[in-house]
Amino acid sequence: MAFTLPKESYSGKVLSLTFGKDDKAVTIGGEDTLPFLSFEGSIPNRPAIAYEIQDSPIDDWPETLKAVYKDVSDDPVKWARYCQDELKAQAIALRLVSTHPDRENRSADDAAKTVSEVLSAVETPLIILGSNHVEKDSEVLVKVSEAASGHNCVIGKAQEGNYKTIVAAALAHNHKLIAMSELDINLAKQLNILITQMGFDKSRLITDPMCSALGYGLEYTYSVMERIRLAALMQNDATMQPPILGDVGMYVWKTKETMAEESDVPEWGAIEERGIAWESITATSMIMAGANLLIMRHPKAVEVVKKIIDELI
Amino acid sequence: MALSGIEIFKLLPKTNCKKCGFPTCLAFAMALAQGKTEIGKCPDISEEAKSKLSEASAPPIRTFSLGKGEKAVKVGGETVMFRHDKKFFNPTVLGVNIKDDLNDEELVKRAKEVVDSEIERVGQKLRVEAISIEYASNNPERFESAVKAVAESAPDAILILNCGDPSVLERAVKLVADRRPLLYSATDANAEALANIAKANNVPLAVSAEGPEALSALTEKIKALGVEDLVLDPRPKNAGEMIQHNTIIRRAALKKGFKPLGYPIINLVTREDSLLEANIAAISIAKYASIVVLSSIEKWKNLALFTLRQNIYTDPQVPMQVEQKIYKIGEPTPESPLLITTNFSLTYFIVAGEVENSKVPSWLAVMDCEGLSVLTAWAAGKFVASKIANFIKESGVENQIKHRELIIPGQVAILSGALEDKLEGWKVIVGPREANGIPTFLRNRAA
Ligand code: SF4
């Protein structure tokens, strides 16, 4: 029996998207094949990784991770500079956790000020994230979009309950936008449609189907991402063609596996390696399923995922 | 590729002798095509036709067992490219490679690591199943004694004899033939000799060649020599090649019915950096390997890879559920708060994780709602006042706690009145809408 290469032909293509400015700008997406199958298509851009920073001192990260940022995490500007200068971050994701009503409940204007300060301190492309509080985000993200006008940032996350104001702001100030839904391809599709119906071009969108950590529903995210990619490529479904985000760090670093001391669970082994493995393997799984952009926390996890990407492309 | 009734009919004797229990050969052929009878029922069929038929009806990826006895593990038999299409059936076997040039003490220590690797996670026992013993010493006696030492120290492990020298391998395999070891590996240079050893000892054989095409030529040759339990190593140079080779092999078998590649895959993922190796192994597990051989098995690494394997091989059609009961988070006392949620595993994981993050020891009542999340279960009439009241009464939690306060998810705040009516003597408290509000909520209550 003679071997013939079983190639798939794809009718669709993932949209490419650029954020940030000048020579620091990052481009993601653009592939016309399933993840890393370069024998049957082209993959013009590598998956990109953004370092997550926060606008208020961290309290809920495990010690092993907190220690990495102990000298800079009291100030988002210092933290952003550290990511840019020491960690050579390709992108930075600033999460405005302090605006959450259950946290410091800082105002949208305060958040806008923080964003302006960070933007003037670093040239690294910025992703600006709210606190994931549906009502508050719609206020905060509008103000910060304005403050970041002209910087070609990624703003997020627009959800079913708040997308209208956020989309309008991203549109007015020329930003890219993350659309987030919860682990369901139909919800992801529907939200992308609603957003594009407001006149927001799909080539400026990033789909976030909601990440889950290794051991905590990873398989749901994995399969939803795979299905989104298949819809984009095989069925040429235009609403499913924006690049995909894996917001990895925030789901990983609250799991027991990243927190429990080895003395409490000797059978789980060294806590530091365990946490780094947890974040990197979650991230690696996400890019296998189709993610184009990752948000991560631990520099060693980022480093190993970069090595993986080097091997993959 | 399955044959049609007519195609099968053409291979039958066409005498309509009825010995098969069917009135005609055609009727028999039709029943066979539908899987309603077996080929053995026709006593007069020619050997040639028989082998053609069983070939055609064989699954696209061969399934067989590695190892012997209770801890034998099935490999192969996969039917889909994507887990959401059906499911992945036979979870990847994890193994570690041990070189025979270590001293005996070290060898035994490494083998014991495999024995001690078993841990439990969400009700399943997980472990490193296989040990590969690599012929690195260039000393046949050394290899034999290493195989013996490892086999004795790890009596349940699946053995992989990693040695390409036929004369050395032949002697070693005799020592452990009853364990049904996997021989690694037949190449262009030694295929015939290794195939003969595999056949004589009735053990599976790994075949390695650069890339799927070269592999397919080699498996055809080996199959012709009478060995059919084969494992494929496409020898990828990096992770990118690994995904592509593994994908091409799986696709050729499933979509093209290409038999020469219809076998399980083995990937050796050795990297100097253990963390990098763990991530390469993760790719291998997600992308179609049936056996992954590592160079080290630290506990943190095992935990992560076991978990990933469990995630990827979960049946996507069955909603993951956790057991209905009152869970303890931390070390709760009779005064600790009591929360309730549904038994959809994702809901449970997220809620339990956030309760844990709050550092407030708590009781978490998890109610069987057939694996639905809170809102869906409420909408489906499964997470409603009367049923919650019954569950709380029957759970025995009233004997575990002194207070009578139940915290319900904010999404079903609407239930609180009805629930207080049904649950006499209890106060119902509406918790946060989203799980990420739980830590603040619990801390504020505790303060
Ligand atoms: S036993 Fe065989 S030859 Fe006889 S009728 Fe059945 S199929 Fe035909």
- Residues A154-205 have pLDDT tens digits of 999 999 999 999 999 999 999 999 999 988 899 999 999 999 999 999 999 9
Interval between CA B60 and ligand 1 midpoint (Å): 27
* E strands, chain A, in order: 16-19, 26-29, 48-54, 91-95, 126-129, 154-158, 176-180, 205-208, 245-247, 293-296
Q: What is the mean pLDDT of chain B?
A: 93
**What is the model's pLDDT at position A60?**
82
Measuring CA to CA, how many Å separate B337 from each of B394, B418, B425?
A: 18, 21, 16
Q: Judged by CB atoms within 8 Å, which residues 69-108 of B form the interface with A?
A: 82-84
Q: How far is the CA of B14 from the centre of ligand 1 (A)?
A: 7
| Percentage of chain B modeled with pLDDT above 90 | 79
Q: What pLDDT, on the 0 to 100 scale, is given for residue B349?
A: 84
Q: What ipTM does the predicted assembly reach?
A: 0.97
Confidence of residue A22 (pLDDT cuts 50, 70, 90): very high
Instruction: Judge: domain A46-312, CATH 3.90.226.10.
Output: no
Q: Identify which of A165, A125, A122, A133 has the alpha carbon closest to the alpha carbon of residue A146.
A: A165
Please judge whether B243 and A35 are an interchain contact, meaning their C-beta atoms are less than 8 angstroms apart. yes
pLDDT at B1 over 60: no
Question: Could you give the C-alpha distances from B314 to A215, A274, B293, in angstroms and in order?
Answer: 11, 22, 22
Contact indicator for A48, A248 with CB cutoff of 8 Å: no
User: How close A105 comes to chain B (CA, Å)?
Assistant: 13
Chain A contacts in chain B segment 370-429 (CB below 8 A)? none
Least confident of A218-232, B39-53, B149-163, B264-278: B39-53
Cβ distance A210 to A181 under 8 Å? yes
Taking contacts as CB-CB distances below 8 angstroms, the residues of chain A near B119 are 267-268
Q: Which three-class secondary structure string do you get for chain B?
A: CCCCHHHHHHHCCCCCCCCCCCCCHHHHHHHHHCCCCCHHHCCCCCHHHHHHHHHHHCCCCCEEEECCHHHCEEEECCCCCCHHHCCCCCCCEEEEEEECCCCHHHHHHHHHHHHCCCEEECCEEECCCEEEEECCCCCHHHHHHHHHHHHHHCCCCEEEEECCCHHHHHHHHHHHHHHCCEEEEECCCCHHHHHHHHHHHCCCEEEECCHHHHHHHHHHHHHHCCCCCEEEECCCCCHHHHHHHHHHHHHHHHHCCCHHHCCCEEEECCCCCHHHHHHHHHHHHHCCCCEEEECCCCHHHHHHHHHHHHHHCCCCCCCCECCCEEEEECCCCCCCCEEEEECEHHHHHHHHHHHHHHCCCEEEEEECCCCCCHHHHHHCCCCCHHHHHHHHHHHCHHHHCCCCEEEECHHHHHHHHHHHHHCCCCEEEECCCCHHHHHHHHHHHHC
pTM of the model: 0.88
- For residue B436, list chain A residues with Cβ-Cβ distance below 8 A: 132
| CB distance B72 to B65 below 8 Å | yes
DSSP three-state, residue A251: helix
How far is C-alpha A307 from the chain's CA centre?
19
Residue in A1, A35, A60 nearest the CB of B220: A1
CA-B19 nearest atom, ligand 1: 1
Contact yes or no for B207/B217 (Cβ under 8 A): no
Which residues are CB-neighbours of A198 under 8 A, at least 6 positions away? A164, A167, A168, A171
Side-chain-side CA neighbours of B391 within 13 Å: the count stands at 23
Mutation test residue for ligand 1: of B24, B41, B42, B53, the one with most atoms within 8 Å of CB: B42
% of chain A residues with pLDDT over 70? 100
Tens digit of each residue's pLDDT (9 = 90 or more) over B149-208:
999 999 999 999 999 999 999 999 999 999 999 999 999 999 999 999 999 999 999 999
Q: Report which protein residue has its CA nearest ligand 1's atom 7.
A: B25
Would you state the pLDDT for residue B353?
84
B284 pLDDT tier (thresholds 50, 70, 90): very high
Pocket of ligand 1 (CB under 6 A): B 12-13, 15-20, 22, 25, 28, 42, 44
Q: How far apart are CA A141 and CA A311, in angstroms?
A: 37
Give the CA distances from residue A172 to residues A19, A162, B355, in Å, rounded to whole numbers and listed in that order: 16, 16, 40
Q: How far apart are CA A75 and CA A99, in angstroms?
A: 15
- Which residue ranges make up each domain of chain A? 46-312
CA B10 to centroid of ligand 1, rounded, Å: 12
Which chain A residues are Cβ-neighbours of B234 within 8 angstroms?
none
Nearest Cβ partner of A3 from B213, B278, B436? Answer: B213
Q: Which residue of B has its CA nearest to A100?
A: B437
Distance of alpha carbon B85 from alpha carbon B316, whole angstroms: 8
Q: A255, B353: Cβ pair inside 8 Å?
A: yes
The domains located in chain B, with CATH, are 5-57 (1.10.15.40), 64-312 (3.20.20.20), 325-446 (3.40.50.11600)
Least CB-CB distance to B279: which of A6, A289, A304? A304
> Can you tell me the mean pLDDT for B94-102?
97
Main-chain phi, psi angles of A272, to 5 degrees = -65, -50
Q: Whose CA is nearest to atom 2 of ligand 1?
A: B42
Between A6, A257, A266, which is nearest B248 by CB? A6
> What's the pLDDT band for B221 if we cut at 50, 70, 90?
very high
Among protein residues, the one with the nearest Cα to ligand 1's atom 4 is B17
Q: How far is the CA of B228 from the centre of ligand 1 (A)?
A: 29
Specify the DSSP class assigned to residue A55.
S
Average pLDDT over residues A228-235: 98
Q: What rounded mean pLDDT belongs to chain A?
A: 96
Check whether B2 has a pLDDT greater than 80.
no
| pLDDT at res. B255 | 93
Given a cut of 90, whether residue B233 has pLDDT beyond it is: yes
B257 lies within 8 A of chain A by CB? no
Distance B299 CA to ligand 1 centre (A): 59
Please state the atom number of ligand 1 nearest to the C-alpha of residue B17: 4
**How far is residue A169's CA from residue A163's CA, in Å, rounded to a whole number?**
10
Residue A256: pLDDT band (50, 70, 90) is confident
Give the distance (Å) from ligand 1 centre to CA of residue B25.
5
What is the arithmetic mean of pLDDT over A267-287? 97
Cβ–Cβ gap B213/A311 under 8 Å: no
To the nearest whole Å, the CA of A172 is away from the closest chain B CA by 31
Rounded mean pLDDT, B15-21: 93
The mean pLDDT of A78-99, rounded to a whole number, is 98
Residue B440 near chain A (CB below 8 Å): yes
Cβ proximity of B44 and B15 under 8 Å:
yes
Measured distance CA(A292)–CA(A35) in Å, rounded: 9
